[in-house]
Structure 1
Amino acid sequence: MTDLHLELDGATLAYDVTGPEDGPIVIAAHGLTHSRANERASWVFDWSALPEVGFRLIRYDARGHGRSTGRRDPEDYGWPRLADDLLAFAQHVAGDEPVDIIGTSMGVGTALTAATRTPERFRRFALVIPPTAWATRPAQAQLYEAGARFIEERGLDAFVRGSTSLPPLPILDAAGVWPPPPADIAETLIPTVLRGAAATDLPDPELIAVLPHETLLLPWADDPAHPVSTSQRLAELLPNATMHVARTPGDLRAWGPRIVDLFSA
């Protein structure tokens, strides 16, 4: 698949497009340390049904991830800066047309931060495995900072070996997709990206509570980095949200059809 590119301040975003030229646009924003490539490598984040039913699916690598470039400035990897990128990217690919968004983990933070600034930019949201936020964020931030120091001191290979020795996430282990794909970021940049993530959080709840968009929340169970509590709080705040908690591989396979139903309504 041929990459297209968008030049931004401090980064060049790489992206690709599938589906009809005149189809409604869906932008997919991936998770921290992931990319288009390693999300495609797992059937869990398979959004390919959207182009098949007439949507124009546009997936991009966040700055510093995958085939996108980035610089060594932690502020570049917080959700406010990534939201700047998403808004610029949406303008680039869709003009003034509102777009639908699939946000996964970090992509959830990116999408909600962007929406609190420019709600008219978006139509509907599919928010997949929302990450730690608010009360649960400080502990996760400490883990990111510890990971950054570990990689600087002992290298990425040692970090990966240590990560693979951790207990598997039950739902992914049952689905046969554990361990997850490795980080798709240059080793020299990973500590910077982790520190950017450690310094960021979702917008204040009162800003989220006024977002009118139809929203589908798709958490999975038993993952401290993506606790169901975040989705439960978002479901309370967002006035037009529904939530489905994935507990089995079959629940994961339902994600794609649920998203198609949301965007097709």
Structure 2
Amino acid sequence: MRRHPVREGRFRHRGAELVYDVHDVHDVHRDAGEGDAGEGPLAVYAHGGFASQAAEDRMGLFDWTPVLAAGRRLVRYDARAHGRSTGEPVDDDYTYPSLAGDLLALLDHLGARRPVDAMGASMGCGTVLHAAVRAPDRFSRLVLLIPPTAWTTRAAYASDNRRSAATIERAGVDAWLAARRAAPRPPVVADVPEVPPTPAGPVLPAVLRGLARSDLPSLPKIAALPHPTLILAWADDPGHPLSTARTLADTLLHADLHVARTRADIHAWGARIAEFLTRPGP
């Protein structure tokens, strides 16, 4: 993401300090010498597991500039224990429903009186879906990026996470990182820079076990969601299988699915999201 001036904010919720950045549409216009355009409708983004805002920016995967240019006020935040946010080594703090509570608390802190657009990648996708199921009236549109393994494919992932937590506690973080580096990467992101996990070593086992206890909401609950939804997936990634994305697309009432097979496809996601957020409703 091209860096624009941002305003950092912080608030406390359930024993943690959560840090967020506000990117306004006027950040784009100011760069272009067009003056201050004010604040646009609110869109909130939740990042993937073990990452952070800064980590995703270093990876260079997602370009949010088109979303800003389309008039959205974008809030990106560091999940509990990730990046600049704090967190305790408590497994239940890192389940999807618990992280959804953090997202809803952020909306309260921001004073969001109208429904907001919510976007989330991987772990953030689970966060957004659980928040939408719990409080559907708080959201207008959903953007689900690289939906994680879920339902029938979740058990193997959960087992791997529990083994990873045990490895860290027995042999240290470096042993776990070595195993991660040895695993094959999806071809579509094979050349993306690898970044170390942002949760601190003492918290990592709790994060892993919390995610192991997580799953996406049940299909009947997802089917009841009324929100227009854009699903952005990529191919050949066992951790984010197309089966999840396709099941979501088949289950949600108003869903569009797009699958990236090249880096150019991923680079176009920002423009695709901007078009989706500004199109007339169904």
TM score, norm. by length of structure 2: 0.90
1:75-224 to 2 correspondences below 5 Å: 75-173=92-190, 176-178=191-193, 180-224=194-238
2:23 aligned to which of 14, 18, 26: 18
Root-mean-square deviation over aligned CA pairs:
1.2
Change beyond 3 A, Cα 1:94–1:228:
farther
- SS of the residue aligned with 2:82? coil
Residue by residue, what CA displacement relative to the aligned partner does 1:161-185 show, whole Å, maximum 9, x if unpaired? 2221222221112xx215x321111
Unaligned runs of 5+ in 2: 1-5, 26-37
Deviation at 1:2, TM superposition (A): 5.1
Contact 2:230-2:276 at 8 Å conserved across structures: yes
Residue by residue, what CA displacement relative to the aligned partner does 1:95-143 show, whole Å, maximum 9, x if unpaired? 2211101100001111111111111100111100000111011110001
Structure 1 partner of 2:70: 53
Identity across the alignment (%)? 46
Structure 1 partner of 2:9: 4
Deviation at 1:52, TM superposition (A): 2.7
Structure 2 partner of 1:40: 57
Does residue 251 of structure 2 align to residue 237 of structure 1? yes
Letter in 1 for 2:227: H
Residue by residue, what CA displacement relative to the aligned partner does 1:56-97 show, whole Å, maximum 9, x if unpaired? 110001111111111111000001111111111112214221
CA distance, structure 1, for counterparts of residue 65 and residue 157 of structure 2: 31
CA distance, structure 2, for counterparts of residue 69 and residue 199 of structure 1: 21
Unaligned runs of 5+ in 1: none
CA distance, structure 2, for counterparts of residue 187 and residue 249 of structure 1: 31
Letter in 2 for 1:47: W
Residue by residue, what CA displacement relative to the aligned partner does 1:191-240 show, whole Å, maximum 9, x if unpaired? 00000000111111101101111100011111111000001110111010
Contact 1:12-1:69 at 8 Å conserved across structures: yes
Does residue 263 of structure 2 align to residue 249 of structure 1? yes
CA distance, structure 2, for counterparts of residue 3 and residue 19 of structure 1: 12
Letter in 2 for 1:79: Y
- SS of the residue aligned with 1:45? coil
TM score, norm. by length of structure 1: 0.95
Contact 1:25-1:94 at 8 Å conserved across structures: no
CA distance, structure 1, for counterparts of residue 145 and residue 175 of structure 2: 29
Corresponding pairs, count: 262
Letter in 2 for 1:211: L
| Range with bigger deviation, 16-25 or 245-254 | 16-25
